[in-house]
Chains A and B, each alone.
Chain A
Amino acid sequence: MPGDTIITVEGVSKRYLIGHQITDDTLRDQMSRGIRSAAEWMRPGARGAKRSVEEFWALRDLSFELRRGQVLGIVGRNGAGKSTLLKILSRITEPTTGRIRMRGRVASLLEVGTGFHPELTGRENIYLNGAILGMSRAEIVRKFDEIVAFSEIERFLDTPVKHYSSGMYVRLAFAIAAHLEPEILIVDEVLAVGDAQFQKKCLNKVSQVTHEDGRTVLFVSHNSAALQRICSTGIWLNQGRLAGQGPINECLAAYLRTGSQRADFPAPAVDKPHITSVRVDTGGLAEGRIEVDVGFRSPFALSPPVVGVTVSSKFGHPIAGSNGRMAGEAWQPPPTCSGVVTAHLDHVPLHSDTYLISVYLGDASMDYDQKLDVVEFDFVSPRFHPQMPPLQVIGQGDFGWRWTLRPE
């Protein structure tokens, strides 16, 4: 029955004791600490000097519900608690407080190929990994041919996986996981690997699993495009707390609008013109503009200060760049020793993806400093379409194609 609640998370928190786990690693540490605390106990005045156990709340009072057939995207910065949430839902670790009710078999894919043994063959690893993910022998036997077909590694089935290319390895690992048939599937950032063709196949598989079989999926990714493609709703975690929830597009936009992506650089040992900071305005990004602030400082006046900015794909291929010299007559700033140059680009012709920014500093004739791929940002295109092929096929540029038909 679609639409009924399948996961209920009520007030879940997870606390880690940081100092505790670091200092307790050997018996001696604990014994010496025991002696010290006994000594402190005898000198009441010193009791205030407690051992340094720091509490860290990876998750704080998190509540949400998920209905059957929904695909939930979980967004947030590193350390926001996404992985902790997935670990709790997968029963790897327990919550400190709170309660979760899940109806149905749960399978989690927090890592591709967990438990793969390099010395074992593909065939042996299918059985081992399947069992690790919770399949019975009978189930694996039944789905064996399907898994092999999906992974496209028939010829290497009896080769130890240590001889596999990383692509083959990932294909095999995902193929096993894709055939789990759980009611609830938990996926952490695993579609980021593999080649374009296979990524497409994986995304299609996830879509099929949710739309046709009515399964529920929780999905963590830094890839905005993938999130937009397969998720219906989203939650946004910030420092362990629920910062927002709703349709995935709104959730992503709200998340990406927060703060700014920036990098700061110390002055170089030799005093020469240098870049001090690079900042991408995320508020502008959410509205479809790119604004890059480049701070610079120089021992002499740069006449004029020339800044170059290049946007590259997440793999580092340059896509679009420019600099002040290219602007010609349109931009003639006065000579300056320090300041911030902002590069503006309205109506960004890019698809949703993660991009990198490189910046350069120079004057009319010379280049002095460069910072390559220093800031990473997520761009969410307002023109996203679910039937879009993967970016490896159509490229990052979104130039606004028009279509016409001449019937004959």
Chain B
Amino acid sequence: MSGPSDSCAAAAPQGETIIEAGGASAHYWSDLWRYRDLFVFLTIRDIKVRYKQTVLGVGWALIQPVVTTIIFTFVFGKLAGMSAGGVPYPLLVLAGLLPWQLFSAALSSSSASLISNANLISKVYFPRLIIPLSSLGVATIDFLVVLALYVCASVWLGRIPSWHWALLPLFTLAALTLAFGAGLWFTALTVKYRDFRYIVPFLVQVGVFISPIGFSTGVVPSWRKLLDLNPMTGVIDSFRWCLLSDGQPFDILGISCSIVISAILAFSGLRYFRRMERTFADVI
């Protein structure tokens, strides 16, 4: 027989489990690994369920960014007359929208993940971390669909991807880590305080306005320092640096700021989540 039960039995010859107050953490990380298939199936479930019984299916992943791009191009490019630094304005917007949508979708779904899987939490044991982790999956798939759209648009507009593209996975990971760290905090807090269900959508809404999505940070140099306090600024700038290759210098300060904030959020979020985890089933 091959399977996780064997690997578990090998780790502890008797396969002995000890249950006592505060003692659940002994095999946590090996358990997490043992349940990796559950992670995959939960992700697949979320993706499949999302587009079941829809006519357009994955098309819905495209409609929102396309419409937003058109509106932002009109408002910022035409009405406000902001400069795109020689890049087609829709491309500038879409390159900023890509990481933002990844972040906001991942944050929203991971923040709501525990509550929406309450039935699982009160009926079965598995490392709870699987739930917020798998909720990042749908956001990532939608991101890849929009990225494909971006590539098509970029090539159609005559802009061939440069070597900068190679760094894209890194910045994608930064956006996901940021969403995951904040999501861990929010989802663990939501189990006890349902207030956070209202806070997260509000934060995402505010975020659209304080992140440089519709405009390039190059047009507001005096606000730069303030914008960098928003960890998504660094990520969005880095995405534009990757995707547009428009000769803008790489903003090391902005992305460092993002990475530091992401790391702090992810680390502290993980600690808080682990601490609260053992009471989830009692409170949810």
Contact = CB atoms under 8 A, between A and B. Distances in A.
Contact of A117 (B2, B24, B49): B49
B38 interface: yes
Interface string B9-41: 100001111111111100000000011011011
A131 interface: yes
A21 B282 contact: yes
B49 A95 contact: no
Nearest to A188: B123
B21 A96 contact: yes
A377 interface: no
A216 to B, nearest CB: 13
A24 B192 contact: yes
Q: Which has the most chain B C-beta neighbours within 10 Å: A110, A132, A183?
A: A132
A163 to B, nearest CB: 12
A27 B192 CA distance: 9
A193 B279 CA distance: 30
Contact of A103 (B16, B45, B119): B16
A304 interface: no
Looking at A95, A101, A110, A136, the one whose CB has the most chain B CB atoms below 10 A away is A136
B282 A98 contact: no
A94 B22 contact: yes
Contacts of B49: 117, 119-120
A99 interface: yes
A128 interface: yes
A133 interface: yes
Contact of A91 (B1, B119, B125, B283): B125
B22 A104 contact: no
20 contacts: A26-B195, A87-B281, A91-B24, A94-B21, A100-B19, A102-B17, A102-B18, A103-B17, A114-B123, A115-B124, A119-B49, A119-B53, A128-B45, A131-B37, A136-B4, A138-B3, A139-B1, A139-B3, A139-B5, A160-B52
Interface of B: 1-5, 8-9, 14-24, 34-35, 37-38, 40-42, 44-45, 48-49, 52-53, 119-126, 192-195, 278-279, 281-283
Interface of A: 16, 21, 24-28, 30, 87-106, 108, 110-111, 114-115, 117, 119-120, 124, 127-128, 131-139, 160, 183
Ranked 7 nearest A-B pairs via Cβ:
A91-B125, A100-B19, A131-B38, A136-B3, A131-B41, A99-B20, A114-B123
Given A25-B192, A92-B122, 7 more contacts: A88-B19, A90-B125, A93-B278, A98-B20, A103-B14, A119-B53, A133-B124
